[in-house]
A and B are shown apart, each in its own frame.
Chain A
Amino acid sequence: MEWQWDVLPQFAFNGLREGAVFAAVALALVLIFKATTLINFATGELAMLGAFLMYILNVEQGMWLWLSIVLAMLISAGIGAAVERALVRPFDPDDHLPVVLITLGLFLIVNAVAGDIWDYQLRPVNEPFGTFPSWAPSSQELKEVADGSISCVKVSSGNFVEATAGAADATTCELAGRTYWTILNANVDYRTLGTWVTLAVALAALFMVLGRTKAGLAFRAVSSSAESARLVGVNTGRTLGFGWALASVFGTLGAALVAPSLNGVNPNMMQFILIYALAGAALGGLDSLGGAIIGGIVVGLIKGVVVSWFFVQVMGWAFFSILQLATAFMLILVVLLFRPSGLFGTRRIERV
């Protein structure tokens, strides 16, 4: 056993980047659970649909990447609200079984339709955070290229993605500027920084909406007590639709941010991420928004630091590299068994 402290920051940064994505998807789960005590099993598939919208707008139609992400988020919001209105609202919110069936049906339909339209091959997407701008100092990058330890290739649409050394078009990397910052001897990818910044902006926007707008107030009222909210004149149905729309926005954001790391979009892309996000949401407490964010990031750190660094690198248990998903699953199990309310959730007292 050898403590490899020098590589720890790298694993931690990777974990934090993935954690940010898990947090976004966990937030999508919690936004719906908080209002309805319902787990939307189709969260991952709806997010996948959002990522495909981004793919269509950006890669197929050539729209500016960020505009296509924002548009995909807005369209997903519409889809989320429509799903709530058409498929969820007709059912008694206290009877979970029908709505569980509906979300499972959605899971199957969305997955099958996406598989029919786009088949199950990975479709490469463009990197939203390709490079530092050209004015950023790039000496580090050039040195690395000279070493042959990293290179970049140009993809058809004009963005740059990281590639292994010796790739055919390695020289374009010099033009691209560097793609990472060196902190604590670790390469913090522009992608990592960009994911954090994007999530932070989105969270700030979410809390502004929830805290400062009338719709946000209504949402908080309904999630604290639907009956009382209805009594004072809040339109609960419309508010829950609003919650579904917000959830779809965050799911799509998470899917769009993670797609480059997965090397593209694919109908099954969100299934594993759904598990990590469920673990994050369960850990944070299924009805706590802040808990979902912290839970998602902690799950990312557990995946990056505990499993990939400690178990695999330090302890040398190579088999743990295939057990990352299983670790997340065990986390869900342990949390639900021993602390069903998670770290920050509301404790439920069951009366008999």
Chain B
Amino acid sequence: MIDDDWPTPMPRRGDVDRSGDYAVFAASPAPQTPGGAHQASATGSQMLEAPRRTRRGTSPLGWVGAGLLAVWLVAMPLTSTATQLAQNTQAMVMVLAVLGVNLATGYGGMISLGHGVFVAVGSFATAYAAADMGLPWAVSILAGAVLAGTLGAVVGLPALRIKGIYLALVTLGLAIVFQPLSKRFTAFTGGVSGRTVDAEMIAPTWFGTSRWSEGLYRYLICVAVVVMALWLVQQLVDSRPGRAMRAVRDDDTAAAVYGVNLTTNRLATFAASAALAGLAGALQVVLVPFASQESFPPQESLVLYATAVLGGLGSIWGSVLGVAIREAAAAAGSGLASIDGLGAISELFDLFDDERLLFGAALIVLTFVFPRGLASAIVGRARRRDA
């Protein structure tokens, strides 16, 4: 390694060091491809140092976003019917699955197009634990996350050697293979038509007994779990293992030279990201007592990946933003589809009542406009792509 490969910029006085706060709306470079092996080695060399936090800047737009989020969190349950509440909560917990993709791809540099599989495993495991084994909900949810995480560690094994587009290929293969396979294990998955879950999370009586208050109870639990997971991931990526993770993403050779154990790091990253996806699946079962392989076609995994990318890889709030975009797009699409009486145009609009179509289109359009994710574009503080 010659010196030219290490264009480490010397920090100047007055510079705000941001190597430690990747997370706050500052999108990091996307995962490395072999073409640009050393372009980000500057950050790689800084990452193992403890971050010198000076000031955590949140832009005005960030505050607006946080405000909107807070308003939504309070207003949504108050204005929803019991059914809408369950649906909206389901959408909300997908933040966890997207965060899982983000952790593997955005922070770990391992493209995963198969995270829908981990969501499914979390769902089925929780359903089995809660209904068939009669375990308490807290244990069942944990079981879902742990089982998905374990599977993630197994799937992560190939990621030790297979990288970049090849890993994308393998994980997409996993997503495609999973669905027909899951139809066969009827005891777990209920086969083709899925299974109902004969267990319900009951709110304590002082919480009210209406369907809505039951829903509110589950909503609050889900909010608590999601917030806790976001906080934990934030802590993780700011910690030493988190910096090591990003160093491995940017340049694994350099990271190994700095003493990072690549095997442990990659496996742990993948396991944690799969566990997050499994947690999302587990909460889905809490919200709607039904699990079916039909909810997890390969397209769903791709939509998860797309959501993570659209929101912004390497940014925790990007995952939240991604899910918000997903829901807004779905709502806008069905709104468009409900416009009738325009003849052929209405028929064209009907096409938009399909989340996958919208997401495919959004993916292409936004790849053209903001190749590095929406979060970076909104805040306008994209980290430099090429050092």
Contacts and interface: CB of A to CB of B under 8 A. Distances in A.
Interface string A269-288: 00110110010001000000
Contacts, number: 136
A108 B359 contact: yes
Interface size class of A (residues with CB under 8 A): 35 or more
A326 B367 contact: no
Contacts of A274: 176
B324 to A, nearest CB: 19
A98 interface: yes
Contacts of A104: 113, 302, 305-306, 360, 363
B173 interface: yes
Interface residues of B, number: 49
B339 interface: no
B168 A100 contact: yes
Nearest to A94: B35
A102 B367 contact: yes
A325 B174 CA distance: 10
Interface string B282-314: 000000000000000111001101100100000
B181 A271 contact: no
A272 B299 contact: no
A109 B180 contact: no
Contacts of A106: 360, 364
Interface string A21-38: 000000000000000011
Contacts of B299: 107-108, 111-112
A323 B306 CA distance: 29
Nearest to B162: A336
Interface stretch (B192-200, B206-214, B350-358): B350-358
Interface of B: prevailing SS: helix
Given A39-B165, A41-B172, A102 B363 contact: yes
A271 B298 contact: yes
B177 A108 contact: no
Contact of A329 (B33, B111, B177, B363): B177
A95 B36 contact: yes
Given A112-B356, A332-B170, A101 B36 contact: no
Interface in B303-334: 303, 305-306, 309
Interface in A78-111: 87, 90-91, 94-98, 100-102, 104-111
B30 interface: yes
A197 interface: no
Interface string B35-65: 1110000000000000000000000000000
Given A39-B168, A96-B164, A102-B367, A111 B181 contact: no
5 contacts: A37-B165, A98-B371, A101-B367, A107-B360, A116-B357
Interface of A: 37-39, 41, 87, 90-91, 94-98, 100-102, 104-113, 115-116, 268, 271-272, 274-275, 278, 282, 322-323, 325-326, 328-329, 332-333, 336-337, 340, 350-352
Interface of B: 30-31, 33-37, 111, 113, 158, 161-162, 164-166, 168-170, 172-174, 176-177, 180-181, 184, 253, 297-299, 302-303, 305-306, 309, 350-351, 354, 356-357, 359-364, 367-368, 371
